[in-house]
Amino acid sequence: MKAMDEQIAGNNVIPGSLLQTFEKELADALAGYGADPEVVGFKSIACYRTGLDVAPAPEKIGVLERAVMTLILVYAARRTLRLADKALNDYVVHAAMRAAGECGKPVQFHTGLGDNDITLALSSPAHLQPLIKAYPRTKVVLLHSSYPYTREAGYLASVYENVFLDFGEIFPFLSGDGQRDTIRQVLELAPTNKILWSSKHDTSSSPVKARS
């Protein structure tokens, strides 16, 4: 944001320069968190922003530069920053997947269950299959049972060594019957040693830090 503020203030906005700065600072941050022993993993909320249908490879430089230009214009008008461009979000996801694979830490993905900020059809973990295949060294944790796409999540956990399924947050959001049905669906196909549970009571920002 500092580089963006400086270019806007000087009326000298250069998308290519800002993109290079963004790429470098993102890579440095991911490497730093990857080396931090208190950071146990990364979390993506791409599901909330532009959906889980992440492109198989990052977009070309020209597309990313146009996305940065749009981001600058919105930021200059509103003075708030929100990554809501699919090309940029997909780029960040790929960068995080690479970094996580290199440092041996997992990437958690919000899937399914959420609020009206989510496009439900794009919240199915099935959309992540190409990404999962592209980064076999990176552990992927599908959060929130992927409800209502639990069976799809169980399938991915069963056929990909690097995929795990977390069934947290269905408590207390689903009814008692819904909770039992979802757990049954989790157990239908997902290997029991790849089933996780989280409380989501940690209010710290991503990446996820170890707690005593």
pLDDT over threshold 90, residue 108: yes
pLDDT tens track for 56-80: 888 888 888 888 878 777 777 777 7
For the chain, how long is the longest CA-to-CA vector? 60
Q: Residue 211: what pLDDT?
A: 41
Instruction: Report the pLDDT value the prediction gives residue 212, as an integer from 0 to 100.
Output: 34
The secondary structure element, H or E, covering residue 140 is strand 140-142
Closest residue by Cα to residue 107 from 166, 151, 60: 166
124: left (phi over 0), alpha (psi -120 to 50) or beta: beta
d(CA 212, CA 210): 7
pLDDT of residue 12: 57
Facing residues of 206 across strands?
none
Position 120 scores a pLDDT of: 95
Q: Describe the strand order of the beta sheet including 208-209 as a list of residue ranges.
A: 195-196, 163-166, 140-142, 107-109, 39-44, 208-209
Q: Which residue has the higher pLDDT, 14 or 159?
A: 159
**Interval 29-33 mean pLDDT:** 97
pLDDT digits 0-9 by tens, 126-164: 999 999 999 999 999 999 999 999 999 999 999 999 999
Q: Which residues of 172-208 are buried (b: 16+ CB within 10 A; e: fewer)?
A: eebeeeebeebbebbeebbeeebbbeeeeeeeeeebb
Cross-strand bridge partners of residue 107:
42, 140
8 A C-beta contact, residue 190 and residue 157 = yes
Q: Is the pLDDT higher at 11 or at 33?
A: 33
Of 70-74, 85-89, 184-188, the range with the lowest mean pLDDT is 70-74
- At residue 207, the pLDDT reads 53
Which one, of 158, 168, 162, 154, lies nearest residue 197 by Cα? 168
CA nearest 197: which of 129, 142, 157? 142
